[in-house]
Amino acid sequence: MNRHRLEFSAPGRVTVIAGPAPRPAADEVLVQTLCSAISPGTEMLVYRGQWPHGVPVDATIEALAGGFAYPLAYGYCVVGRVIETGAEVPGQWLHRRVFAFQPHQDLFCAQPGTLHPIPADLDDETALFLPSMETAVNLLLDGAPLIGEKVIVVGQGIIGLLTTALLSRCPLAALATLEAHPQRREASLRLGAGECFDPQDPELFTRLGAVPGQGGQADLVYELSGNPAGLETALALARYSGRVVVGSWYGAKRVDLDLGAFFHRGRISLISSQVSSIAPQLTGRWPTSRRMQLAWEMLRRVRPGACITQRFALAEAASAYELIDRNPGETIQVIFDYRPEDQK
């Protein structure tokens, strides 16, 4: 049996590498992958060569430790089943379905402590959304939406959509979203947005009650588009003392902002949000384990499987990334499916 893993070999190029199957050490298990999901944000920075110089790949995930350099195995969203256990691993791990923060590959070894058992009432594809839902939970913790507030979400990729789904469960005065692609606008409304606007609409600011240079009406704005221009839009939509949560990671892309108009006098707060940590003021009550438990529960409530728009075999990886890169409006969540046809 061989292992097949995906490797980013150069900007715009991915390769599937075959090699001997790994064998678990005494304290490890061997996992056979069932499906894995492409992160259309972070992974596309790797694919496009836009990873910022000097930034580690991910110091919080053991499988992604180290510096950035091609060739690189990258990815962090895998669902699989344990097919072999090391001598020191309790037998109950055998055959267990698990989620793992691992690169795309059909076989891998891991210590049980790095794996997340999948609840029995959640299917494989719902479990794939765990990292995105964990991020959405973190975004709400950082933004702290209040009853009666007006909230806007800029960007309705998968993170934006899940954030919208969670916000729709809050007693807000209004929830609006911005998204350039029609398919995602439809998904946004389906997941709970009151209104979803095209950011290129010339009447956008008027429709949202904002005057460029004079502020808007949103108490809280999330910038989740991955587009640096989205941050300037987010700032323009915030009201006096409004909060702008920046969940996008722009990588090597530069951000050009006009901070000379309403920003200072309007006392706008810019809040950075990143899922690798919890806001310091919350860590006493919100350990990572509690956030992860809440993410599982939100997956039960939202059931985001309908956001999967394409499925590819790992051997078709080049086509999958090319699709996301060239035609993002046709995609929301793209996954690799490793299961035999009779198991899909």
Q: Has residue 139 got a pLDDT over 90?
A: yes
CATH, domain 2-118+303-343, list 2.60.40.10, 1.10.10.10, 1.20.1050.10, 3.90.180.10: 3.90.180.10
Q: Spelled out in words, what is the top-level CATH class assigned to the domain 131-280?
A: alpha beta
Determine the Cα–Cα distance for residues 103 and 66; give it in Å rounded to an integer: 14
Nearest to 105 by CA among 18, 232, 26: 18
Residue 41 CB contacts under 8 Å (≥ 6 apart), including other chains: 157, 159, 226, 248, 249
- Residue 17: per-residue pLDDT: 95
Q: Has residue 56 got a pLDDT over 70?
A: no
Q: Has residue 12 got a pLDDT over 90?
A: yes
Where does CATH 3.90.180.10 sit in the chain?
2-118+303-343
Where does CATH 3.40.50.720 sit in the chain?
131-280
- Residue 259: per-residue pLDDT: 85
Kindly indicate the confidence band of residue 3, based on its pLDDT and cuts at 50, 70 and 90.
very high
Q: Has residue 59 got a pLDDT over 60?
A: no
State whether residue 219 is helix, strand or coil. Answer: strand
Residue 336 CB neighbours (<10 A)? 26
Q: Has residue 66 got a pLDDT over 70?
A: no
**Could you tell me the pTM of the whole model?**
0.94
Q: Has residue 75 got a pLDDT over 80?
A: yes
